[in-house]
């Protein structure tokens, strides 16, 4: 269904704009993704938005998105650049904005055998870090991201943007720690944490498969009881004055070590 | 000199608050850093602010900062939590705010032999990435960060915050590409770039010393002529749908590979 909206006070514009706030995302089960690159990555994964907003772009990727939406009977809304800017909250609006159904994979549906690496984040507070970790997960062929405790919303505009489309290629699961540990211990898998207190260098162990890489909160790191649950606690060399890396950076350095070990066979 | 300020309209409060904007930082040659952790890291490096604002904190690290400022004859200003919030632009003010003289090291003053790894960033646009790269540089024992072309201001509040104090432990240099290349080629050093077009895996080469790790702009990567100047062009494995990593993540994965090679000797 194709239609046009040109009024700022149109209720649909207001509704979509409200999805920039977590409470409305939660209530509707919807979130916003912006830009040809991210929406195209989603389309290539077979994921189309519930609603597609554009401002008459003639870019071939926009045309491909519109065609895919029309073929699927989706809702395509042509609007003005000003209204697109209003929806996206940015001065320079993207060519397209999509409204997607949120995508949470329950713990019990995960197939742990499908990947060697899984990333588990605990109380991650920064949406940019969360999106960046999804992007890294995609790069290392991770199975998905499991969010423990009070993590920031993975469907925030900032997280979606930082993920650069990996939000659509990585599965995302929310779980309580106890439920995660019970699920983990019911099958194969090694839980690996990084800790300032660890004695072992991160390049020393031979990691098993699948690996669950546990990343702690940006400011506090992992709670002690979570560290105690880990099968391996390792540390990265820190030669300078600082005692920690950015959470997304630490995750990537560990994840590439795991990947490099798998590549060596 | 210790003094008290309790008025929001005090000219000094306005002046310090203006340092949140680049044009005022540039005009004054000053920048703001916030929080006990970052200011203490600076103090431990022997760097004190020109002015220290606090709101009567009794934290031992605040007392140590105030004592160091007083011993050095520095300007210590006690103010209210509200005014500290106004200066820092955040609802929850930090315990201390310091105003520092900016710290740029001219290219010709760099001692390339003092470190095995140097990081060179080209047209980096995100202040969080810049600060995170400084933090990673500190961790891998880099000599410093060299900013090429139109990089974001390293002294922005967001960059300083993301650096977690590494702004005070890493040297920062701004240079034009031509000047940098001339300086680089006048001494030992290997220029290493990452590129989607590279054929060599990043773990394959044996890297020389010192290594200059060249990081490109977040959206465009490196210009072709810059890639052509590199002694080595390498790529990281990317198993997923995406074709690139976050710039700070890619820098860290490469920097830890360089460090790991040095550690193996």
Q: Which of residues 143-202 of B touch A (CB under 8 A)?
A: 162, 164-166, 169
Binned at pLDDT 50, 70 and 90, residue B71 comes out as: very high
Mutant choice from B139, B140, B168, B238 vs A, greatest count of A C-beta within 10 A: B139
Distance CA(A78)–CA(A96), nearest Å, equals 10
Residue A170 DSSP symbol:
S
Q: What is the mean pLDDT of residues B167-173?
A: 96
Domain boundaries, chain A: 2-101, 107-264
* CB-based contact, A41 to chain B, within 8 Å: yes
What is the spatial distance between Cα A225 and Cα B185, in angstroms, rounded to a whole number? 52
A140 in contact with B, Cβ within 8 Å: yes
Please choose, from the candidates B180, B164, B95, B87, the residue with its C-alpha nearest in 3D space to the C-alpha of residue B131: B164
- In sequence order, the 6+-apart residues with CB closer than 8 A to the CB of B34 are B88, B94, B96, B97, B98, B157, B160, B161
- Distance, in Å, from the CA atom of A257 to the CA atom of A260, rounded to the nearest integer, reads 5
Assigned token pair, A18: 């409200």
Smallest CA–CA distance, residue B143 to chain A, in Å, is 10
Find out whether B54 and B80 touch, Cβ atoms under 8 Å: no
User: Tokens 């979509």 appear where?
Assistant: A16
Q: What are phi and psi of B4, to 5 degrees?
A: -120, 140
Q: Three-class SS of residue B70?
A: helix
Of A45, A241, A252, the CB nearest to B249: A252
Cα(B251)–Cα(A28) distance, integer angstroms: 38
A242 Cα to chain B: minimum distance (Å): 7
Which residues of A are less than 8 Å from B167 in CB distance? none
Within 8 A of B135 by CB-CB distance, chain A residues are: 242, 245-246, 249
Using the 8-state DSSP alphabet, how is residue A114 labeled? G
> What is the C-alpha to C-alpha distance for residues B31 and B150, in angstroms, rounded to an integer?
19
Angle of helix A11-18 versus helix A81-88 axis, rounded to 10:
30
Q: Measure the CA–CA gap between A132 and A148, rounded to whole angstroms.
A: 17
Q: Identify all chain A residues contacting B247, using CB atoms and an 8 Å cutoff.
A: none
- pLDDT for B34 beyond 90: yes
A2-101 CATH fold: 60s Ribosomal Protein L30; Chain: A; (3.30.1330)
Going A162 to A163 to A168 to A170, the CA torsion angle's sign is negative
Examine the pLDDT at B149 and tell me if it is beyond 90.
yes
Name the residue among B235, B257, B41, B250 with its Cα closest to residue B138.
Answer: B41
Residues of chain B with C-beta less than 8 angstroms from the C-beta of A252: 245-246, 249, 252-253
Tokens of A226: 């979570």
More confident residue, A92 or B139: B139
**Residue among A81, A73, A62, A83 nearest A9 (CA):** A83
What is the mean pLDDT of the segment spanning A225-254? 95
In this prediction, residues B239-253 reach a mean pLDDT of 94
Asked if A128 reaches chain B (Cβ–Cβ under 8 Å), the answer is yes
Counting other chains too, the contacts that B56-64 makes at CB distance below 8 Å and 24 or more residues apart are B57/B95, B57/B96, B59/B95, B61/B36, B62/B36, B62/B95, B62/B96, B64/B40
Is the per-residue pLDDT at A60 higher than 80? Answer: yes
Q: What is the mean pLDDT of residues B177-186?
A: 98
ipTM of the shown complex: 0.94
**Which of B215, B245, B261, B262 is the mutation pick for testing A, counting most A CBs within 10 A?**
B245
> pLDDT grade, residue B235 (50/70/90)?
very high
- Quick check: B136 and A169 CB within 8 A? no
Nearest CA in chain B to A115: B239
List, as one string, the DSSP characters of A236-258.
----SS-S---HHHHHHHHHHHH
State the Cα torsion B84-B87-B89-B92 to the nearest 10°. -10
B239: nearest CB among A139, A237, A252 = A139
From CA B33, how far away is CA A121, in angstroms rounded? 29
For position A265, what pLDDT does the model report? 82
3-class SS of residue A102: coil
B70 vs B12: CA distance, rounded Å? 19
Polymer length of chain A: 265
Rounded distance, CA A257 to CA A246, Å? 17
Predicted confidence at residue B169, as pLDDT, reads 94
Strands (E), A149-228: 171-175, 190-194, 200-201, 211-215
Q: Decide if A60 contacts A19 (C-beta within 8 A).
A: no
| pTM for the predicted model, two decimal places | 0.94
| pLDDT computed for residue A91 by the predictor | 67
* CATH number, span B107-264: 3.40.1280.10
Cβ-Cβ contacts under 8 Å, A162 against chain B = 246
**A240 closest CB neighbour out of B169, B236, B252:** B169
Question: Is residue B199 very low, low, confident or very high in pLDDT (cuts 50, 70, 90)?
Answer: confident
Contacts of A139 in chain B (CB under 8 A): 236-240, 242, 245
- Please give the C-alpha separations between residue B38 and each of A202, B29, B42, B51, B189, in angstroms, as whole numbers: 27, 19, 6, 15, 32
* pLDDT, position B146: 98
Give the nearest partner residue to B44 out of A137, A138, A241, using CB atoms: A241
Q: How confident is the model at residue A39 (pLDDT cuts 50, 70, 90)?
A: very high
Question: Is the pLDDT assigned to residue A153 strictly greater than 70?
Answer: yes
Which of A165, A239, A259 minimises the CB distance to B242? A165
Report whether pLDDT(A189) > 70.
yes
């Amino acid at each position: 269904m194709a239609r046009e909206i040109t009024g700022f006070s149109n209720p649909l514009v207001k509704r979509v704009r409200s999805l920039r706030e977590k409470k409305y995302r939660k209530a509707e089960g919807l979130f916003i993704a912006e830009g040809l690159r991210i929406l195209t990555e989603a389309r290539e994964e077979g994921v189309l938005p519930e609603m597609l907003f554009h401002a008459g772009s003639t870019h071939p990727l926009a045309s491909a998105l519109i065609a895919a939406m029309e073929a699927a009977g989706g809702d395509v809304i042509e609007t003005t650049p000003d209204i697109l800017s209003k929806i996206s909250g940015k001065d320079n609006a993207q060519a397209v904005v999509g409204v997607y159904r949120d995508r949470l994979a329950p713990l019990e549906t995960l197939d742990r055998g499908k990947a060697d690496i899984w990333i588990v984040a605990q109380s991650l507070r920064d949406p940019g870090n969360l999106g960046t970790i999804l992007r890294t997960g995609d790069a290392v062929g991770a199975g998905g991201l499991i969010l423990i405790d009070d993590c920031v919303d993975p469907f925030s505009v900032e997280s979606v943007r930082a993920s650069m489309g990996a939000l659509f290629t990585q599965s995302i699961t929310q779980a309580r720690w106890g439920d995660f540990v019970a699920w983990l211990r019911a099958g194969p898998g090694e839980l690996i944490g990084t800790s300032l207190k660890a004695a072992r260098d991160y390049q020393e162990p031979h990691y098993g498969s699948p690996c669950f890489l546990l990343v702690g909160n940006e400011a506090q790191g992992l709670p002690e009881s979570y560290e105690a649950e880990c099968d391996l606690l390792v540390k990265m060399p820190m030669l300078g004055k600082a005692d920690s890396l950015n959470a997304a950076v630490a995750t990537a350095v560990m994840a590439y070590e795991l990947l490099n070990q798998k590549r060596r066979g």
